[in-house]
Amino acid sequence: MKTIIEPFRIKSVEIIKMTTEQQRKQYLKDAHYNLFSLKSDDVLIDLLTDSGTSAMSTQQWAAIQLGDESYAGSPSYYRFEEALRELAPFKHIIPTHQGRAAEKILFTLIGGAGKIIPNNTHFDTTRANIEATLTKAVDLVKLDGLNPEVIAPFKGDIDLVRLEELLETKADAIPMVMLTITNNSGGGQPVSMANIRATKALCEKYGKPLFLDACRFAENAYFIKMREEGYADKTPKQIVQEIFSLVDGMTMSAKKDALVNMGGWIAMNDDELAMKARNLLILTEGFPTYGGLSGRDLDAMAVGLREVVAEDYLHYRITSTAYLGNALSQIGIPIVKPVGGHAVYIDAKALLPHIPALQYPGQALAIEMYRLGGIRACEIGTVMFGRQTDGTEQPASMDLVRMAIPRRVYTQSHIDYCIECLEQVYNNRHQLKGLKITQEPPMLRHFTAQFEPL
């Protein structure tokens, strides 16, 4: 059949509060034009993030009832550990309350002034946690990944030539190499198995561990199945197992590809680093068998890890995201191509060329989407990445608006509504104006900055 149906039935519903355009204008003003500051009750379609916004299955809710809240040695931890080891058999598996907690622990231990951590593209909290230790976060995505119009199967790949040049000249300053799968800041683009394997070979050559920021590992695996030679007949689970067999460790926000609302972990094979990580975990998160999570969260993760590698689910997930992206492209709205796994990224710089980068075209577009249709999306551009560590401001390489699709939450009619809204935005695009920032924090300003329209 041509029609792709959701591989689930809806058993419980959450009522959406309908709002008018006039109301949304006031909500925007009250929020100082920062969509993070809106009340979620005032949002019709919330595409701000796919992190922690998944709908859990009946099996996950049932598993929650098994949650054991013992402080140490809970069976919930061992069920989680067993489920993860089916996919990623690392020697040490350490739960945290979410991904940024794992990042904080890792970079506190390996970072420091004068050090460098290369990645295909660091996401916002990853970069912030690295820079908080005075380490330099370097993005080395291949050049195709910086061009939204280029259609290539694995635009998330790291540039191996530039990576080796950095390792050759700065090896003493590099404690590890990272890869983000899929490459969130670069449009949700996947990384090929060949690139992971080649990156690992370079790391071995220069004696460096390779870690994954693996938030969307299952989506990345499905892209490998669809696009990379030699993987069409492998299951997503087999591909995931191969990915993790090639690396030395990982950080994870389970709020993405573990299909839960809270959770994460750090995993590795290094005994000494794991000992230090557990000690720091006890200071900041909790005992190593709960890591800041309740037992019920651990049990929900255990079930989610098995559900997320189901091929029917991944086929629905990737295809339904592409449905939105392809429709916007047909309207004429420039997007990052090909469509990523968890989100559609609109190229605001191309859509709104009359708005200069330092007047934040991505933010202007996201505000208009909410004003017109009550859709909340996320700017990933100069607001998020423009402020430099020396206090200056530079335009980001891309000004994108990310429409992140929560897992198992919205139906096709919700997405069709988004398409209709974006078509009106496209028709009115020449009337949009930029913004100025009136107040901002020193780090991660996009979360709490305040704006005024120009």
In this structure, what CATH number is given to the domain that contains residue 276?
3.40.640.10
Q: Of 272, 307, 342, which residue is a domain's last?
A: 307
> Looking at residue 5, what is its pLDDT?
87
| Structure confidence at residue 328 as a pLDDT band (50, 70, 90) | very high
Check whether residue 317 and residue 376 sit in a common domain: yes
CA dihedral 245→247→252→256, nearest 10 degrees, is -60
Check whether residue 247 and residue 348 sit in a common domain: no
**Residue 118 scores a pLDDT above 90:** yes
* 23 closest CA partner among 45, 38, 40, 42: 42
Check whether residue 138 and residue 40 sit in a common domain: no
Check whether residue 300 and residue 444 sit in a common domain: no
Mean pLDDT, all residues of the chain: 96
Query: Considering the domain boundaries, does residue 435 fall inside one?
Result: yes
Query: Considering the domain boundaries, does residue 447 fall inside one?
Result: yes
Point out which residues pair with 436 in neighbouring strands.
452
Domain count, the chain: 2
Query: Considering the domain boundaries, does residue 9 fall inside one?
Result: no
> What is the pLDDT averaged over residues 186-201?
95
| Structure confidence at residue 148 as a pLDDT band (50, 70, 90) | confident
Domain containing residue 409: CATH number: 3.90.1150.10
Check whether residue 89 and residue 107 sit in a common domain: yes
Entry pTM: 0.93
Gap between the Cα atoms of 75 and 281, Å rounded: 19
DSSP state of 227: H
Q: CA 230: distance to chain centroid? A: 27
Q: Of 307, 335, 353, which residue is a domain's last?
A: 307
**40-57 pLDDT, tens per residue?**
999 999 999 999 999 999
Three-class SS of residue 122? coil
Check whether residue 64 and residue 43 sit in a common domain: no
Gap between the Cα atoms of 286 and 280, Å rounded: 9
Residues 6 or more apart whose Cβ sits within 8 Å of residue 30: none
Q: Cβ(298)–Cβ(80) under 8 Å?
A: yes
Query: Considering the domain boundaries, does residue 8 fall inside one?
Result: no
Query: Considering the domain boundaries, does residue 384 fall inside one?
Result: yes
Query: Considering the domain boundaries, does residue 356 fall inside one?
Result: yes
Check whether residue 229 and residue 292 sit in a common domain: yes
Query: Considering the domain boundaries, does residue 114 fall inside one?
Result: yes
Residues 6 or more apart whose Cβ sits within 8 Å of residue 160: 195, 198, 199, 202
| Structure confidence at residue 264 as a pLDDT band (50, 70, 90) | very high
Three-class SS of residue 135? coil
Check whether residue 264 and residue 314 sit in a common domain: no
Gap between the Cα atoms of 403 and 42, Å rounded: 17
For 201-205, the CB contacts below 8 A with 24+ separation are 202/160, 202/163, 202/164, 202/167, 202/177, 203/177, 203/248, 205/167
Q: CB 417: neighbour CB atoms within 10 A?
A: 17
| Structure confidence at residue 346 as a pLDDT band (50, 70, 90) | very high
Check whether residue 343 and residue 302 sit in a common domain: no
Check whether residue 300 and residue 189 sit in a common domain: yes
| Structure confidence at residue 389 as a pLDDT band (50, 70, 90) | confident
Check whether residue 110 and residue 137 sit in a common domain: yes
> Looking at residue 406, what is its pLDDT?
96
Sign of CA dihedral 293, 296, 298, 301: negative
> Looking at residue 375, what is its pLDDT?
98
Backbone phi, then psi, for 267, in 5-degree steps?
Answer: -135, 150
Q: Residue 114: which domain range? A: 58-307
Check whether residue 135 and residue 268 sit in a common domain: yes
Q: Of 307, 332, 367, which residue is a domain's last?
A: 307
Query: Considering the domain boundaries, does residue 239 fall inside one?
Result: yes
> Looking at residue 444, what is its pLDDT?
87
Q: Cβ(55)–Cβ(406) under 8 Å?
A: yes
